[in-house]
């Protein structure tokens, strides 16, 4: 059936055969207008690799500070120290928010923040310790590789030392943020002040080597070209071959409102839904056999498009995202109960399953 659909596409033939796709293959798929065909192959690949379950966590987001030494052109969230609405939570305030999240059913805390120029490593260690002491069963997924790299530079410790100290204080895993797009041509135009793509990858490699698993992300839909997307996916795949430490890839649709890219008219509209679906399908096909969880971030896509993305290669919905603030600052309202996600999955005749941070299934519905 699929063979008939794909017509002349040698790349899709090879994808169906489970072969590893390269740079030119990826670019060809990104430029191919037949989304129906690419989506169908990505969907069949998803079904073969991970079946019909759609997973998600009960996850709560916490942004401990919006003060940031960087000023990324893609960011609507950061503030400078003296801004009226700048904030930094104390470890005790953070613990209070974690208690509230637990009462809402969260099994995971997703904790990230700006690059605060004055916080010491003690602050982050105290944050981990107070959460773990009071909520030992909660998984703490905290600090992007870009934050870890920043902490190391600021405190004059090695990345390994920072990761080890945080792990010993209670850190369970790393979120995938800060990856944006690795390619230098793009990265310097969208992520001013953040570590380089290679530094992000090296930080992740060290985390994986210390037994700290992580997610990976890819920010698309701004000023990139197809080759930048493919380059990013290949770099994730190469590191995954080495460490096996990534749990999922989360393609993140760029949200324009209130960002410098919008203010400077470098971009006037967000990418199309067709492009969103192409990126999900390509992610599935390029990572197939190496990283088999491809997450659809409904916070950025919206729930209806998320349903379609789940039939173009996606098998995970990330989580409930209670209290998400970064996308909210860029004009995307968030929050969803577990039941909302269960219904979203049932409507497309797939099997909803709540998972933990490490993709172990906790319950089905």
Residue (180 or 276) nearer to ligand SF4, CB = 180
195 is in an annotated binding site: no
Distance, CA of 166 to CA of 111 (rounded, Å): 13
The footprint of ligand SF4 (CB under 6 A) covers 68, 70-72, 75, 77-78, 114-115, 194
Residue (83 or 340) nearer to ligand SF4, CB = 83
Whole-number minimum distance, CB 243 to ligand SF4, in Å? 24
Residue (189 or 303) nearer to ligand SF4, CB = 189
Q: DSSP letter string over 297-321?
A: -HHHH-HHHHHHHTTTT--EEEE--
3 is in an annotated binding site: no
Classify 188 as helix, strand or coil.
helix
Whole-number minimum distance, CB 26 to ligand SF4, in Å? 26
**Which of 319, 56, 327, 107 minimizes the C-alpha distance to 98?**
107
Residue (194 or 222) nearer to ligand SF4, CB = 194
Residue (71 or 88) nearer to ligand SF4, CB = 71
**Which of 64, 61, 40, 44 minimizes the C-alpha distance to 52?**
44
Whole-number minimum distance, CB 286 to ligand SF4, in Å? 25
Distance, CA of 67 to CA of 287 (rounded, Å): 35
Cα–Cα distances (Å) from 253 to 172, 222, 273, 324, 328, in that order, read 26, 9, 10, 15, 13
Whole-number minimum distance, CB 65 to ligand SF4, in Å? 9
Whole-number minimum distance, CB 78 to ligand SF4, in Å? 4
Q: What are phi and psi of 364, to 5 degrees?
A: -115, 170
Q: Indicate if the alpha-carbon torsion angle 123, 249, 340, 135 is positive or negative.
A: negative
Let me know how long the chain is.
365
271 is in an annotated binding site: no
Whole-number minimum distance, CB 44 to ligand SF4, in Å? 36
Q: What are phi and psi of 325, to 5 degrees?
A: -120, -20
Residue (200 or 298) nearer to ligand SF4, CB = 200
**Which of 256, 318, 317, 305 minimizes the C-alpha distance to 276?**
305
Residues annotated as binding site for [4Fe-4S] cluster?
68, 72, 75
Residues annotated as binding site for S-adenosyl-L-methionine?
180
């Amino acid at each position: 059936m699929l063979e008939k659909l794909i017509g002349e596409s040698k790349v899709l033939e090879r994808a169906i055969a489970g072969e590893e796709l390269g740079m030119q293959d990826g670019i060809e798929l990104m430029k191919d207008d037949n989304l129906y065909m690419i989506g169908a192959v990505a969907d069949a690949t998803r079904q073969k690799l991970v079946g019909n379950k759609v997973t998600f966590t009960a996850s709560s987001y916490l942004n401990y500070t919006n003060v940031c030494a960087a000023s990324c052109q893609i960011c609507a969230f950061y503030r400078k120290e003296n801004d009226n609405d700048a904030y930094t939570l104390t470890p005790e305030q953070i613990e209070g928010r974690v208690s509230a999240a637990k009462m809402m059913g969260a099994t995971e805390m997703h904790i990230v923040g700006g690059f605060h120029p004055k916080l010491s490593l003690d602050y982050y260690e105290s944050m981990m310790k107070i959460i773990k002491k009071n909520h030992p069963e909660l998984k703490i997924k905290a600090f992007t590789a870009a934050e870890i790299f920043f902490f190391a530079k600021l405190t004059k410790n090695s990345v390994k030392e920072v990761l080890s100290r945080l792990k010993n204080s209670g850190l369970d895993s790393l979120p995938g943020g800060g990856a944006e797009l690795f390619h230098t041509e793009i990265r310097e135009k969208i992520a001013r002040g953040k570590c380089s793509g290679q530094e992000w990858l090296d930080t992740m490699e060290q985390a994986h080597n210390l037994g700290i698993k992580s997610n990976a992300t890819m920010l698309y839909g701004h000023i990139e070209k197809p080759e930048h997307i493919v380059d990013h996916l290949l770099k994730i795949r190469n590191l995954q071959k080495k460490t096996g430490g990534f749990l999922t890839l989360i393609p993140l649709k760029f949200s324009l409102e209130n960002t410098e890219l919008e203010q400077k008219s470098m971009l006037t509209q967000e990418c199309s839904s067709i492009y969103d679906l192409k990126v999900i399908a390509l992610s599935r096909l390029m990572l197939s056999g190496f990283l088999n969880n491809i997450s659809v971030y409904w916070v950025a896509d919206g729930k209806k498009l998320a349903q379609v993305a789940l039939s173009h290669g996606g098998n995970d919905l990330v989580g409930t995202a209670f209290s998400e603030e970064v996308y909210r600052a860029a004009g995307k309202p968030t929050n969803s109960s577990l039941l909302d996600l269960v219904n979203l999955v049932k409507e497309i005749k797939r099997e909803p399953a709540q998972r933990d941070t490490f993709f172990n299934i906790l319950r089905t519905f």
